[in-house]
Amino acid sequence: GTAHLPPAPCPRALLHLLLPPPRPATTAAAPSPEDTHGHGLIHFVLAAHEGQRNTRLFWAACRAYENGIGPTLSEPLIQAAVHTGLTPREARSTVASAARMTGRRGMG
């Protein structure tokens, strides 16, 4: 019985979650880990619960390497994963796999 009503506007916070992050205007310098995108990836890993820690770390590391901040962000991502309960060896192995998967060399 609501087909005649117009759709409600999307809340700004939800719209922000649905849209990809804006791309930087220039690509002359690689973003630093202080970049908002880098912080988001670290927080994404920190929010992981048992059963999703490795998957979240791998996903975040892939995004970091795809965006050119993998070498800089690898150590903070590893530390975040260790904070959630992964061993340093597991975390380093996962980040190294992400680097290989995205075609990047080295972990910084």
For 3-10, what is the mean pLDDT? 83
pLDDT of 52 reads 93
Q: Which domain holds residue 65?
A: 33-101
Whether 4 shows a pLDDT value over 60: the answer reads: yes
Distant-in-sequence, close-in-space partners of 41: CB < 8 Å, separation ≥ 6: 60, 63, 64, 73, 77
**Is residue 19 in a domain?**
no
Whether 83 shows a pLDDT value over 80: the answer reads: yes
**Is residue 23 in a domain?**
no
What global pTM score does this model have?
A: 0.64
pLDDT of 3 reads 82
For 8-17, what is the mean pLDDT? 79
Task: Give the count of domains, the chain.
Answer: 1
Whether 74 shows a pLDDT value over 80: the answer reads: yes
**Is residue 11 in a domain?**
no
**Is residue 81 in a domain?**
yes
**Is residue 40 in a domain?**
yes
Rg over alpha carbons for the chain, rounded to the nearest Å, is 17
**Is residue 4 in a domain?**
no
